[in-house]
Chain A
């Protein structure tokens, strides 16, 4: 029998805007996933440690401070260092200019969801792009 998808929703850096993170966390939970929300102000290291501990399939990073170019690739790098990048789907969301998205994808973030994205789009993306089987 399938187990539920496990998702870590995290806020990297000093950004305090957590409406998007919480809305997406609830929407994923309502879609039957198990969601861990970490609260504010985590370093990439802390996020990866939480991902390891919680044994998640997805790390969803929400950031609206403009520091995405710096922090998102760092999370990917740390996941690689810990040897779990091949199992974990990394997503980003927030106020992120369109022009920055190719660079973030190249760095290893699978998809970026900008303001106005219906939660259903994110849910479908997760279901269709998991890296390890359930």
Chain B
């Protein structure tokens, strides 16, 4: 009763304060008529306990490490150990990338993150006609187990965790990783790391799909099943909002579309006969971190709360690990500017703070030159140092979820949850994420936000420092990283040599077996592993599956 009375008093006082402030604002207008977040949510002048009226602490926030995990998935968060500092890297050949990984580990990085080139991501060998000009450009070229052996040469796979950004051919690259580990004498159950393996966001935003939806979902559930037995410490999927956000979505859309994809994967696995608490603990997520610090923190907190509720209420998960949304973060590539690239270091620092205050499990920080090219070693070091400064000097990692209880952050967290749930419900009504993608609904929603954002910049409603305000005349930056143009030829030579050395009859037999199994509902992972070990190339394996499954046809939405 006393609480209620106090609240009424407070509301009256706030009303009075608002009227008084409105009066003075009439004399001296504010900078803008309406204030909005980075994702266009209107921001009030002031947040007070009135905005959180009726919010129950235990229900909405709880304790860290406990349902609904709003405050974090571990009880003591970074007081135990910091997030994993994991820089996404890879370019040119396996030899070159192996050197970069060793450099990063020497600099204090604590996990690897492999970038593959586009032909690898789309299941073509380096000698395929469509690979021309693309080999080794956005990541490392991997054509066979042989390249993978070189990539991880001298890196003990029982001691590092490795994240691989690979989706459509995730099963093949995971099989190669397992095979390399075996050669190092490391058994699969010791392997830790993640494959991205998130095909739905490829259809939505990233574009490296191969097969149609159904066989793609089957490959994914095959991996869930196989890994739950063979590689129990491996994260089988990284359900990604990162690319959805990069494609131009708002923070709310990032959460909503990612979790809608997550629901689709859980449903597919349950439909394939898997038990939710057996595979769900190995699901992981991947989010973006943009410049609106407080909105981003609220986004991460809201995502955790929504996922916990979905897993508990919708899927009846009992294992707490099934309800915990663990996530990797990358700072926002699309927020970097080609103009005055040094400014990007500051943007990345803000985004790093957002990710850490939001409770991320691992983090990649972008380098200042990435609006122009792949980063140089020097700029990657600054990006990594940014994380180390936040970890060791900023103080934000010393207590758990330090922004909890901020009237603004909690209001935003509630608002993001509410708006994301509206989207998720709408998508469920449309038959789930796969059919919403097929209809082009998700793509169109993202595109609308992207275009709106662009218009705001062009009308100067939104300021991007150095782009539409505070410009300077500048010289083009020097010393950008260049990928050796002969990489394509080098890889082709390696493939030719491989095809002479290996037992081609055995390869043909393994590929035939794989094709046959693809036409049944057998788990394909063991057959892919066999083909990989016989040194069948990535292109041969994916080509065999293309023959059976066909290819995805994109829904083009403007």
Contact = CB atoms under 8 A, between A and B. Distances in A.
Chains A and B are bound partners: yes
Interface of A: 13-19, 22-23, 25-27, 29, 35, 37-41, 43, 65-67, 69-71, 95, 97-99, 114-116, 118-120
Contact of B118 (A15, A26, A35, A115): A15
A32 B431 CA distance: 36
7 contacts: A13-B130, A18-B247, A27-B451, A69-B133, A70-B132, A99-B476, A119-B454
A66 B206 contact: no
A57 to B, nearest CB: 19
Q: DSSP majority for the A interface?
A: loop
Nearest to A64: B138
A105 to B, nearest CB: 14
Given A19-B247, A19-B450, A23-B451, A71 B133 contact: yes
Contacts of B556: 37-39
B558 interface: yes
Given A65-B118, A98-B476, A119-B454, A16 B133 contact: no
Nearest to B124: A14
Interface string B358-383: 00000000000001111000000000
A120 B137 CA distance: 31
A26 B558 contact: yes
B216 interface: no
Contacts of A65: 118, 134, 137-138
A29 B248 CA distance: 19
Given A19-B450, A22-B450, A97-B372, 5 more contacts: A66-B138, A67-B133, A70-B132, A98-B477, A116-B371
Nearest to A26: B451
A43 to B, nearest CB: 7
B530 interface: no
Contacts of A95: 371-373
Interface in B128-151: 129-134, 137-138
Interface in B461-508: 464, 467-468, 476-477, 480, 483, 485
Contacts of A23: 248, 450-451, 454
Contacts of A15: 118, 207
Q: How large is the interface on B (under 10, 10 to 19, 20 to 34, 35 or more residues)?
A: 35 or more
A116 B450 contact: no
A116 B338 contact: yes
Nearest to B373: A97
Interface of B: 118-119, 121-122, 124, 129-134, 137-138, 202, 205-208, 246-248, 334, 337-339, 371-374, 447, 450-451, 454, 457-458, 464, 467-468, 476-477, 480, 483, 485, 554, 556, 558
A116 B467 CA distance: 6
Contact of B338 (A22, A38, A41, A114): A114
B476 A14 contact: no
A13 to B, nearest CB: 6
B137 A67 contact: yes
A65 B122 CA distance: 13
A66 B373 contact: yes
B202 A19 contact: no
A56 B477 CA distance: 35
Given A14-B118, A19-B334, A70-B133, A39 B554 contact: yes
Nearest to B447: A22
B134 A13 contact: yes
A35 B338 CA distance: 27
Nearest to B475: A98
B122 A14 contact: yes
Nearest to B248: A19
B131 to A, nearest CB: 8
A118 B556 CA distance: 24
B558 A98 contact: no
B137 A115 contact: no
A115 B337 contact: yes
Q: Which 8 A-B pairs have the closest CB atoms?
A: A16-B207, A70-B133, A98-B476, A66-B137, A14-B118, A67-B133, A39-B556, A116-B467
B197 to A, nearest CB: 16
B143 to A, nearest CB: 15
B138 A116 contact: no
Contact of B207 (A18, A38, A116): A18
Contacts of B464: 116
Given A13-B133, A22-B447, A71-B133, A97 B480 contact: yes
B372 A67 contact: no
Given A39-B554, A71-B133, A99-B480, A116 B118 contact: no
Nearest to A38: B556
A27 B118 contact: no
A8 to B, nearest CB: 13
Contacts of A29: 558
A76 B54 CA distance: 64
Contact of A66 (B374, B467, B554): B374
B467 A14 contact: no
A120 B246 contact: no
